[in-house]
Amino acid sequence: MSRSDLEQAVTSLAGVGDAMAAKLSRLRIERIADLLFHLPLRYQDRTRITPIATLRAGQEAVVDGEVCAADVIKGRRRSLLVRLKDGSGILSLRFFHFSPAQQQQFAPGVHVRCFGEARAGATGLEIYHPEYRLLRQEDAPVEDHLTPIYPTTEGLTQPRLRGLIAQALKALEEAPHTLPDGIPDALRERFRLPELHACLGYLHEPPPDADLERLASGTHPTQRRLALEELLAHQLSLRQVRLRIQTDGAPPLTSGRGLQARFLTQLPFALTGAQRRVLDEIARDLETATPMLRLVQGDVGSGKTVVAAMAALQAIAGDCQAAMMAPTELLAEQHFRNLREWFAPLGIEVGWLSGKLKGKARLDTKAAIADGRVQMAVGTHALFQDDVHFKRLGLAIVDEQHRFGVHQRLALRQKGEAGGLTPHQLVMTATPIPRTLAMSAYADLDLSVIDELPPGRTPVQTVAVPDERRPEVVTRIRHACGEGRQAYWVCTLIEESEALQCQAAEATRDALTETLPELAVGLIHGRMKPAEKAEVMDAFKAGELDLLVATTVIEVGVDVPNASLMIIENPERLGLSQLHQLRGRVGRGGTESFCVLLYHPPLSAHSRERLGVMRETTDGFRIAEKDLELRGPGEVLGTRQTGLAQMKIADLERDKDLLDRVSPLAKALLEEAPDASEILIRRWLGEEAGRYGQV
């Protein structure tokens, strides 16, 4: 390897020892090439000399001048004041820290070049502590490019970092082939992208006439090329995961129709057009010997559970097992009950497994899953732990995907291995993922959208009410329940403590029981035993309870169509998507439903905006877009899950228009230059890409 190989560690650069390498490592710079991708935060213009007369306060500028005086000023703070003239005007340089030697340097008649920010001072325009040097001749050259300012770390100065990056640029010049472009020429031309080396060179050393405004806003073509490349790398790595999974075999499931038809005749409703369309898409995937990887996206209440059940029947009819995993015990439990009720008449055995199932019951369930007696397994993530073995898992269903990570999902792949086959995967989410995000974060999944709610639903009406009007809200509950309706009262999270949240819910239950003695008030929270929770939910479902006080455990999936009123206490503590989820618990039956956001004033501007969105719309897609705008993608989807927040250059808000170009580019690249994708993935995702690859 030549010394200039960019893959080498930074320690192979002149003057970089272990101590410097450690500092660079804090900036995630390990190899020489990493220096090239360490891009400036901003730039200074030191390429031209500014006449003093044209200098403005707040301007950073290079000034050349001749010293006319240098005096120590005794004022409130002692300072050295150097008066500089350039034929157009006079400027002062002011030093609060200075040495006697420095003072002597500035003898009258000496030529000085300085750089700094001009400000209005006691003597007119002044520059405090400028960078400066004494000139021998007046026409010494200025910088020939803009000066980059880099993100740095303690003990690493800008000039030092600049010097290292200059070395890296030189290494690149000497051995350009050691940093391949990653996007081949033909594609670059077709997609009108500038060349990688040119972009890097430009961004580290922009010419004097560069458009500083565009550079500052991150929209310069060179920056956009790099952002696009980063997004591309993320998408490629997800596609790679997909390809890897799809080289496995899956059981072709071709014989579900009869069983599905029998199931449908016992349902009290007909499927919506959207459900049928999505089911067709799923059925076609399941019939092939390639594992399905499909995301079903449908707003709360759109009827995803039935779709999942239908898919499961196709697997079971094909002599395979199906498994359904939900993120919370409560939701998993509810799925279990639903499916057991639906499947019992069909003679299908449904099993239950959660982390809380212990002892003999656990061993029995695991044995029944292992020998195939359980045809439909339902549970929490416990279902996919190492000690659970399926006889022949044909379909893995993951509900409310946004709570699980990409990696957890990929781990499912191993569950089919006992039978030598990889299960089909169906992922369901109610968090409507804006299309742009779907393309980058979920590029490994095919997308089906249930874009229609079952008929007869009336949109939930939402009002925001300050908590001093609590008595009115209580009256409202009395009326609704008096008419045979049911209501939820949701206590939101206090700090991060589940214990405190449960306490608050208990106190609320006690208070409401006292003010509403004629109503049956129930309580459900995360600290109750599964059996207790189930009992409460059953009682609420059966109408034995009028009012259910709950913590946010009821956020996902809970389904009681007769509940038509929801009070959410302190809604300002919750994100938009969570509020939307909660509100989705009402409006499931035919009657008009209401959601009362009982907030604690004063509201911040941000909170007011969020509650405003909730009042205006029940459209999950709009809410998700708004959420994305207000909170950013990392928080909406869960930072760790998506890897999006680790983006180095791309910014999904700013660069969202680029996402339209990512998919076609990824496709073309995989077809025309498959090897290049490895380069890009390694460059932008590094070790993370390795992790995806292992699964």
Between 167 and 425, CB nearer to ligand ADP: 425
393-399/424-429 β-pairing: parallel
93-105 core/surface letters (b: 16 or more CB in 10 A; e: else)? bbbeebeeeeeee
Ranges within 92-151 binding ligand ADP (CB under 6 A) = none
Query: Binding pattern to ligand ADP, positions 305-344, x when CB under 6 A?
Result: xx--------------------------------------
The interface partner of residue 269, options being ligand ADP, Mg ion, none and the CB cut-off 5 to 8 Å by kind, is ligand ADP
42-44/147-149 β-pairing: antiparallel
Stretch near Mg ion under the rule CB under 5 A, chosen from 303-311, 339-347, 363-371, 632-640: 303-311
Ranges within 158-187 binding Mg ion (CB under 5 A) = none
264 touching ligand ADP, by CB under 6 A: no
366 touching ligand ADP, by CB under 6 A: no
Ranges within 419-438 binding ligand ADP (CB under 6 A) = 430
Question: Which tokens belong to 659?
Answer: 């996402």
561 touching ligand ADP, by CB under 6 A: yes
298 touching ligand ADP, by CB under 6 A: yes
303 touching ligand ADP, by CB under 6 A: yes
The interface partner of residue 324, options being Mg ion, ligand ADP, none and the CB cut-off 5 to 8 Å by kind, is none
According to CB under 6 A, which one of 272, 564, 577, 593 is a site residue for ligand ADP?
272
Ranges within 545-584 binding Mg ion (CB under 5 A) = 557
Q: Least distance in Å: CB of 299 to Mg ion?
A: 10
Between 398 and 680, CB nearer to Mg ion: 398
Stretch near ligand ADP under the rule CB under 6 A, chosen from 293-301, 324-332, 371-379, 487-495: 293-301
Residue 14 and residue 10: Cα distance in Å, rounded? 9
Q: Least distance in Å: CB of 305 to Mg ion?
A: 5
Residue 683 and residue 229: Cα distance in Å, rounded? 10
The interface partner of residue 626, options being ligand ADP, Mg ion, none and the CB cut-off 5 to 8 Å by kind, is none
Q: Least distance in Å: CB of 180 to ligand ADP?
A: 46
Q: Least distance in Å: CB of 309 to ligand ADP?
A: 9
Stretch near ligand ADP under the rule CB under 6 A, chosen from 56-64, 140-148, 266-274, 607-615: 266-274
Report in angstroms the alpha-carbon separations of 239 from 233, 415, 486, 651.
10, 21, 46, 21
Residue 558 and residue 534: Cα distance in Å, rounded? 11
Task: Give 205's DSSP letter.
Answer: S
416 touching Mg ion, by CB under 5 A: no
Residue entry with tokens 């911040």: 604
276, 335, 285: which is closest to 305 by C-alpha? 335
Q: Least distance in Å: CB of 454 to ligand ADP?
A: 3
Between 60 and 559, CB nearer to ligand ADP: 559
Q: Least distance in Å: CB of 579 to ligand ADP?
A: 15
395, 438, 402, 390: which is closest to 327 by C-alpha? 402
Between 81 and 309, CB nearer to ligand ADP: 309
**SS3 label, residue 316:** helix
Between 161 and 306, CB nearer to ligand ADP: 306
According to CB under 6 A, which one of 294, 304, 583, 610 is a site residue for ligand ADP?
304
Residue 341 and residue 541: Cα distance in Å, rounded? 14
Stretch near ligand ADP under the rule CB under 6 A, chosen from 126-134, 242-250, 270-278, 432-440: 270-278
The interface partner of residue 559, options being Mg ion, ligand ADP, none and the CB cut-off 5 to 8 Å by kind, is ligand ADP
547-550/293-298 β-pairing: unpaired
394 touching Mg ion, by CB under 5 A: no
Report in angstroms the alpha-carbon separations of 337 from 164, 332, 333, 593.
64, 9, 6, 25
The interface partner of residue 306, options being Mg ion, ligand ADP, none and the CB cut-off 5 to 8 Å by kind, is ligand ADP
Residue 525 and residue 407: Cα distance in Å, rounded? 29
The interface partner of residue 70, options being Mg ion, ligand ADP, none and the CB cut-off 5 to 8 Å by kind, is none
275 touching ligand ADP, by CB under 6 A: yes
Residue 363 and residue 369: Cα distance in Å, rounded? 10
According to CB under 6 A, which one of 4, 44, 302, 314 is a site residue for ligand ADP?
302
Between 447 and 695, CB nearer to ligand ADP: 447
Residue 552 and residue 579: Cα distance in Å, rounded? 10
Ranges within 439-458 binding ligand ADP (CB under 6 A) = 454
Report in angstroms the alpha-carbon separations of 607 from 501, 604, 629.
21, 5, 14
Question: Which tokens belong to 478?
Answer: 């009395």
State which amino acid sits at residue 290: T
Strand order in the sheet with 293-298: 350-353, 376-379, 321-325, 393-399, 424-429, 293-298, 446-450
Between 410 and 563, CB nearer to ligand ADP: 563
| String of DSSP letters for 130-191 | -EEEEESSTT----SSPEEE----TT--HHHHHHHHHHHHHHHHH-GGGS--SS-HHHHHHT
Stretch near ligand ADP under the rule CB under 6 A, chosen from 47-55, 294-302, 438-446, 503-511: 294-302
Alpha carbon 554 to its chain centroid, in Å, reads 24
Report in angstroms the alpha-carbon separations of 255 from 132, 284, 424, 632.
82, 12, 15, 44
Cβ-proximal residue to ligand ADP, closest one: 303
Between 449 and 689, CB nearer to ligand ADP: 449
State residue 251 phi and psi, 5-degree precision. -70, 125
Give strand pairing partners of 486. Answer: 563
Enumerate binding residues for ligand ADP (CB under 6 A): 269, 271-272, 275, 298, 300-306, 430, 454, 557, 559, 561, 588
Enumerate binding residues for Mg ion (CB under 5 A): 304, 557
